[in-house]
Amino acid sequence: MTLDSIGDWVRTHYSGNVTPELDGVEITLFGWVQEVRDLGGIRFIIMQDREGTLQVTIPKKRVAPEVLSKSDTLQKRFSIGVKGTVKKTNMTSRGIEVIPKEIRVFNVAAEQLPIDITGKTPANIETRLDARALDLSLEQNAAAFKIQHTALSAIRDFLFEKGYLEVHTPRIIASATEGGAELFPVDYFGQKAFLAQSPQLYKEQLTMSLEKVFEVGPFFRAELSHTRRHLSEFVSVDVEQAFASAEDVMKLLEQVIQFTCKAIAEKCAKELAALKYRATIPEIPFKRFTYDEVLADLAKEGVTIPWGEDITTEAFRVLGKNRGYYYFITDWPTKSKAFYIKPKDGNPELCEGFDLMWRWIELVSGGTRIADKNLLMERMKEKGLNPDSFKYHLQAFDYGMPPHAGWAIGLERLTMVLTGKKNIREVALYPRDRSRLTP
Least Å distance, CB 352 to RNA, is 15
Residue closer to RNA by CB (options 129, 256) is 129
Residue closest to 29 by CA, chosen among 44, 17, 42, 43: 17
What is the separation of C-alpha 43 from the centre of its chain, rounded to a whole number of angstroms?
40
Q: Is the dihedral of CA 427, 432, 438, 439 positive or negative?
A: positive
Residue closer to RNA by CB (options 9, 142) is 142
Residue closer to RNA by CB (options 87, 267) is 87
Residue closer to RNA by CB (options 170, 308) is 308
Strand partners, 242: 404
Least Å distance, CB 399 to RNA, is 26
Rounded to 5 degrees, φ, ψ at 399 are: -120, 30
Interacting residues of 86 by C-beta distance below 8 A, sequence separation 6+:
18, 22, 23, 24, 25, 26, 27, 96, 97, 98
Strand partners, 87: 97
Residue closest to 311 by CA, chosen among 324, 297, 322: 297
- For the beta carbon of residue 210, count every other beta carbon within 10 angstroms: 14
Least Å distance, CB 168 to RNA, is 18
DSSP state of 191: E
Residue 164 region, left (φ>0) first, then alpha (ψ -120 to 50), else beta? beta
Specify the pairing of strand 361-368 against strand 404-410. Answer: antiparallel
Least Å distance, CB 351 to RNA, is 13
Least Å distance, CB 110 to RNA, is 9
Least Å distance, CB 273 to RNA, is 15
Output 387-396 pairs: Cβ under 8 A, ≥24 positions apart. Answer: 389/175, 389/176, 390/175, 390/201, 393/201, 393/204, 393/205, 396/204, 396/205, 396/208
Interacting residues of 162 by C-beta distance below 8 A, sequence separation 6+:
212, 252
Residue closer to RNA by CB (options 76, 146) is 76
Least Å distance, CB 217 to RNA, is 13
Residue closer to RNA by CB (options 267, 295) is 295
Least Å distance, CB 207 to RNA, is 18
Residue closer to RNA by CB (options 384, 400) is 384
Residue closer to RNA by CB (options 207, 267) is 207
